[in-house]
Amino acid sequence: MDCGSIFSRFSSNESAKEDINYDDIFIGSDEAEEVSRIEHLRQTKLNNNLSLVFLNLTANTEKRIEQRIAPVSFIYSDTLLITYTSTKGFVTEHLLKKWQSQLTSFEYIIAYSILTIYTHYIKELKSIKDKINQLDQAARKTTENKELFRLADAERDIVYLDHTLKDQHDTLEVLWRNKTFLNKLEDDSLVYDIQLRQRHADKMIRIYRDLLETIGGLFSDMMDNNLNHLMKYLDSAALGISIPALISGIWGMNTGGLPGKDSALGFFIIIVLAMILATIVAIYLSKKDFSK
C-alpha cells in the first residue's frame, strides 16, 4: 500500500475490535479510476457497518486531472470510523481546520467530507469556466495549434469530472436513502447544502461540456472559412496569371497575320498588354464580393 496514504481512526468505544482486512477493502484506492460506491462489509463484527468511497479533487493544478482525483474511503459503524486517502492534509487541513466544532459524530465527519469534496469540484469547474471564456475569444481570432491543444485539455478534464460526478451521484443517492445514517445525522440543512452543491456541480458540468462542444464547432467553422478564403485567393491568383499566359500563347502561334510580328518592339508590346490586362483582372477580382 502507498506509504503516502493517510489513515485516520475515530472510535466511540476504545475496546472496539477491528476484524477488517484493509488490503482487500482499500485495493486500488489510490487510483483515479476507482469506483465511488457504498456497500456493507461482510465477515466483520462491526454493527451497522458501511464501506463508503468518494472521489476527491486535489488542488495541485500542475498535475493532470487523473492524477488529481483521489479516492477518500470510509469504514463506518456504530462504534468506529476509519478514513483512508492518499491526499495529505484532507482530514487535518480541510476538515478539522474548517469544521472542527461541527464534527461531533461519525455522521458529521462523513457529511462534511462530502461537502468539502463538492466544494473542490465547484472551485475547479469555475477555473475551467475561465479557460472556456479564453478559448471562446481565441476561437474567434485564431486557429493555432496551441489553442486547439488547450481545447483538447479542457475537454479531457470535463470528461473525467463528468464521469466522476455521475458515479458519485449514484453513491449519494444510496446514502440518502439510508434511514439509519440520516436519523443519526439529524441535520436536514446540511444534507440540503450537500445536495445543492451536488446539483450545482452537475449543472456546471452539463453547461461547460456543451460550451466546449460549441467552441470546438467554432474552431472547425473558422478553419473551414479560412480555407475557403484561401481557395478563393488562389483561384483569383490563378485567373490573373492565366491572362498573360493566354496572350503569350496566342502570339506564340506559328501562323501569319498576327499584329506586331514584323516589329522589333512586338515582344515588349505583348508584355505590356499582358500586364495591363492582368492588372485590370486583378483589380476587378479584388473588389468582387465572393460571399454573395
The answer on 140 and 114 residing in a single domain is: yes
pLDDT at 64 over 80: yes
The answer on 79 and 121 residing in a single domain is: yes
The answer on 111 and 62 residing in a single domain is: yes
pLDDT band at 238 (very low <50, low <70, confident <90, very high): confident
The answer on 202 and 109 residing in a single domain is: yes
pLDDT for position 8: 58
Q: Which residues form the domain of 64?
A: 6-12+21-226
The set of cell numbers assigned to 110 is 462523513
The set of cell numbers assigned to 26 is 482499500
Cell 478563393, residue located: 232
The 10s digit of each residue's pLDDT in 163-205 is 999 999 999 999 999 998 999 998 999 999 999 999 999 999 9
The 10s digit of each residue's pLDDT in 262-276 is 666 777 777 888 888
The answer on 133 and 158 residing in a single domain is: yes
pLDDT for position 22: 52
Count of domains for the chain = 2
**What burial letters (b/e) apply to 42-79, b meaning 16+ CB within 10 Å?**
eebebeebbbbbbbbbbeeeeeebeebbbbbbbbbbeb
Assess if residue 245 is contained within a domain.
yes
Assess if residue 35 is contained within a domain.
yes
pLDDT band at 9 (very low <50, low <70, confident <90, very high): low
Overall average pLDDT of the 245-256 stretch: 70
Q: What are phi and psi of 252, to 5 degrees?
A: -90, 0
Q: Domain end: 226, 257, 275, which one?
A: 226
What does pLDDT average to over the chain? 80
Give the Cα separation of 85 and 263 in Å (integer). 95
pLDDT at 4 over 70: no
pLDDT for position 1: 35
